[in-house]
Each structure stands twice: as C-alpha cells, then as structure tokens.
Amino acid sequence: MWRDSVRGLLYVAWKDMRAYYFKPPNISWGMLFPGALILAFAVRTPGDLQALVPGLVAMTALFSATSMEAIVITFERRTGALERLLLAPLTLPALLAGKGLGGMIFGLTISAVVLVGASLGFRLILWRLPIALLALIFSTAAFSALGGLVSVMVDEVFEAQTLANAIRFPMIFLCGVFVPLEQLPDPLPVVARFLPLTYAVEALDVALLKGPVSAMGLDLAALLAFTGVLLVAATAILKRRLD
C-alpha cells in the first residue's frame, strides 16, 4: 500500500511540474518580482547590498513555490481532475504531498539559480552554498505547503490568487528583509514569529553571511514544523470539502 502511495505521489509531482510549473510566466514571476522589490529598496536606501541577498533568495523561494501551488488544487477541483486522481490507489495525504513536492521542486530550482547568481555577483563564500541549499529545501517545503493550504480553502482560482497575495505581501514586510525585527513596533515582532518567511530569511542569513551552521537549527526546525502543520491542515480541509 505504501509503495502505491509513494508511486502515486511521485507521479502527481511529475504531472504537475510538466503541466503547470516550468512555464515562462511562472519562472519570471518567481524571479523578477522579488528582484524588483530588492532593487527598489537598494536604490532608495543604498548600503550593504550583500545583506539583502538572503532576503532576495527567500522571497524568490516564496513566490516561486507558491506561484502555481496556490491555484493548482482549486483549478483541478473545478475541472474534476482532482477527483479522477483520487480514483487511483492514492491517499489524500499522499496526493497533497505530491502536489507539495511539485511546488517545492519548482521553488527550489528557481531560488537555487538566484542563490548561485547572487553568490557569484556579490562574491559570497562559495563553500556556504550547500548550507544555503539545505535552508532552501526546508524553506520551499514550508512555502509549498502554504500554497497547498491556500488552494484548498477557496473555490475559484481568482480567490486563491487573492488569498495567496494577502498572505505573501504582509510576510515580505514583516520578515526582517527590509526592516530588522528588533526595529518593528510592538506587537509586529511577535507576529513575525508566526510567519515561515521569517525563519527562511534567518536561516539563509546564517548560511550565507554569519554562520555557524548550528545557528540554523531552530530556524530549520520551525520550517519543518510549519510544513507539517500546514499539510495536516490542508488535508483536513480538503477532506471536509470533498465529503
């Protein structure tokens, strides 16, 4: 039974990547929008541009991992494709995990390209790249799970896009990329601790700029917890909506 679930999970991820993810609009949205935000901030507030690299990579991971993940399930529910997938020997958690894996791989691919490019462009220490990739794996898993939760909460694609943006944009300005958490007015630093992007930025900041690697432990644990909680919540909501 578990072999069927794993096989089905991998098939779902492969199908979604071929059908939805690796398309020019998704790639450009995942890379250009975070880059434009960072460029605007750098022009407005010149300074140590190296310090912006972790935020750029983390935001790229967020937008690329959720670009289609937040609407795929909604779209397939509308077309009946999701129900056809459930006719296979595939459990609902495995189905959602497959959907999440597709978004995670896409987000990891796009953000890894930005990571390598930024590291070379800003002459960061290249031996830190594998550590940063580890942080990206945990980050994209959490962001993909977030996209899956958004997708099961609504009935229409435009609603999923609206809800995803309503979650993503506040995270950008609360996660410490543009304003350090300690400079945010109360209670915003507390709110930031309930956002996965905060931990992704911190983990990448440690991996790329500050070290040691052990300092990433809490951030990686938080991202793993976010992934689990979001997947469980998405599974429960989708099961209720399909019953």
> pLDDT per residue over 150-163, tens digit each?
999 988 888 888 89
C-alpha 24/C-alpha 209 separation (Å) is: 31
What pLDDT was estimated at residue 125?
A: 73
Residue type at position 75: F
C-alpha 192/C-alpha 184 separation (Å) is: 10
pTM of the predicted model, to two decimals? 0.89
Question: Of residues 172 and 128, which shows the higher confidence score?
Answer: 172
The token pair that represents 94 in the structure block: 């495995």
Question: Of residues 122 and 41, which shows the higher confidence score?
Answer: 122
Mean pLDDT in residue range 63-69: 84
Question: What does R_g of the chain's alpha carbons equal in angstroms?
Answer: 18
pLDDT tens per residue, range 130-153: 888 999 999 999 999 999 999 999
pLDDT tens per residue, range 81-121: 877 777 767 788 888 898 999 989 988 988 888 888 877 77
